[in-house]
Amino acid sequence: MSRELILSAPLIDPFQRKINYLRVSVTDRCDFRCAYCMSEDMSFLPKSEVLSLEELERLCETFIHLGVKKLRLTGGEPLVRRNIMHLFRGLSQHLKSGELEELTLTTNGSQLSRFADELADLGVRRINVSLDTLDAHKFAAITRWGKFDKVMMGLDAAKKAGLKVKINTVALKGVNDDEVDKLISWCGDEGFDLTFIEVMPMGDIGEVERVDQYLPLSQLRASIEQKWTLNESLHNSGGPARYVDVIETGQRIGFITPLTHNFCESCNRVRLTCTGMLYMCLGQEDAADLRIPLRESDDNAVLEAAIREAITRKPKGHDFIIDREHNQPAVGRHMSVTGG
């Protein structure tokens, strides 16, 4: 497809993939300091660089106008941003109109006791909750600042509010690989789906070495199949996970494998940071600064043109690697900046 046709069409990238899924990091801040995600003495963005909630809403609405049907708010931890429900309330209007098919979020669960009911009232139907262990002592070591009981209370509140929960678990060699069966069983009892994620080489995380953390999910799946019956699933959540059905529990397990399997062939998503940077690929550094057209003009046509131009630069795929020799991240920015 020519560059001219791309610019006049809905959001179709150079590889004929329809871009209808936007992930928005509403803040790089978090109330946890997970060892695989960020350093304990993390330096966050100055508030002056972060878009206002009104600016984020305008950007999201522009993407909706261009055909985005699914919005996921992430962070950092999205629910620690002050007045974040103002943004959810604004975006929920597009669910009512039918322009938006799904509004959801990824959270660490720490604030769900406060917000689960309101999220459900606004039309959020499912959420992803990051949880890497069911052991309170391990949880404290992994998250550094997290409170295990608070997350469990949040999950209970989400269930009572009618939110469908998917647990996201980063597979960490020597840390939680002995809990895999327990996690599967617990998710079955709770009615939660479960997704395992390979550790991603993004950002400087201090003294922790990702080479020591890395556990290939091919190895993890082989271990799971020794106890559980897995059937390939046709389920597609719109994200990068590949799913299986667990016959014994009736729930799904997903596998996100940025290192052992490149999942880019059907990529339908882009990521927006809280500063207005649009990343066309999680594993690439190329980005478009949407804050400039957002603030320079009230005319959304200028903003739309900037978005369309950015989509013409979306790459075919990423090239995540673990630098075993120098222990350097494949991508310099932290995951909390880009959004999960």
Q: What is the mean pLDDT of residues 149-168?
A: 98
pLDDT computed for residue 35 by the predictor: 82
Q: Is residue 6 part of a domain?
A: no
pLDDT at position 75 over 60: yes
Distance separating alpha carbons of residues 245 and 200, to the nearest angstrom: 25
Q: What is the mean pLDDT of residues 122-130?
A: 98
Q: Is residue 116 part of a domain?
A: yes
Domain that holds residue 327: 15-338
To the nearest whole percent, how much of the chain has pLDDT over 90? 69
Q: What is the mean pLDDT of residues 310-332?
A: 64
CA 97 to each of CA 54, 121, 154, 224, 235: distance values in angstroms, whole numbers, following the listed order: 20, 16, 30, 43, 26
Name the token pair of 198: 């390979």
pLDDT computed for residue 82 by the predictor: 95
Distance separating alpha carbons of residues 286 and 13, to the nearest angstrom: 15
pLDDT computed for residue 247 by the predictor: 97
pLDDT at position 325 over 80: no
Give the residue ranges of the annotated binding site for [4Fe-4S] cluster: 30, 34, 37, 264, 267, 281
Distance separating alpha carbons of residues 52 and 30, to the nearest angstrom: 17
Give the bridge partners for 269, in sequence order: 21
Length of the chain: 340
Q: What is the mean pLDDT of residues 305-323?
A: 80
pLDDT at position 25 over 90: yes
Q: Taking the model in full, what pTM does it have?
A: 0.86
pLDDT computed for residue 266 by the predictor: 76
| Phi, psi for 79 (deg, rounded to 5) | -80, 0
Q: Is residue 3 part of a domain?
A: no
pLDDT at position 203 over 60: no
Residues 212-268: tens digit of each pLDDT? 778 999 999 999 999 999 999 988 876 678 899 999 999 999 998 865 555 577 788
Kindly give, in sequence order, each residue whose CB lies less than 8 Å from that of residue 321, ignoring residues fewer than 6 positions away: 201, 259, 330
Give me the residue label for tokens 């941003």.
Answer: 81
Give the residue ranges of the annotated binding site: 23, 30, 34, 36-37, 72, 76, 106, 130, 166, 200, 264, 267, 269-271, 281
Three-state secondary-structure class, residue 322: coil
Distance separating alpha carbons of residues 222 and 5, to the nearest angstrom: 46
Q: What is the mean pLDDT of residues 37-46?
A: 79
pLDDT computed for residue 191 by the predictor: 97
Calculate the average pLDDT of the chain: 87
pLDDT computed for residue 321 by the predictor: 54
Distance separating alpha carbons of residues 237 and 270, to the nearest angstrom: 15
Number of domains in the chain: 1
Q: Is residue 157 part of a domain?
A: yes
Q: Is residue 1 part of a domain?
A: no
Q: Is residue 8 part of a domain?
A: no
Q: Is 339 left (phi over 0), alpha (psi -120 to 50) or beta?
A: left
pLDDT band at 319 (very low <50, low <70, confident <90, very high): low
Give the residue ranges of the annotated binding site for GTP: 23, 72, 106, 166, 269-271
Taking the alpha carbons at both ends of the chain, their separation in whole angstroms is 30
* CATH code for position 105: 3.20.20.70
Name the token pair of 333: 């920015």
Contacts by 215-218, CB closer than 8 A, 24 or more apart: 215/171, 215/172, 215/173, 215/177, 216/257, 216/259, 216/260, 217/171, 217/255, 217/256, 217/257, 217/260, 218/257, 218/260
DSSP alpha helices (H): ranges in the chain?
3-8, 53-65, 84-97, 112-121, 136-143, 148-160, 180-190, 210-213, 217-224, 291-296, 300-311, 335-338
Residues 166-201: tens digit of each pLDDT? 999 999 999 999 999 999 999 999 999 999 998 876
Q: Is residue 301 part of a domain?
A: yes
Give the residue ranges of the annotated binding site for S-adenosyl-L-methionine: 36, 76, 130, 200
CA angle 39, 126, 310 (to 5 degrees): 65
Q: Is residue 5 part of a domain?
A: no
Distance separating alpha carbons of residues 83 and 27, to the nearest angstrom: 12
Distance separating alpha carbons of residues 85 and 213, to the nearest angstrom: 35
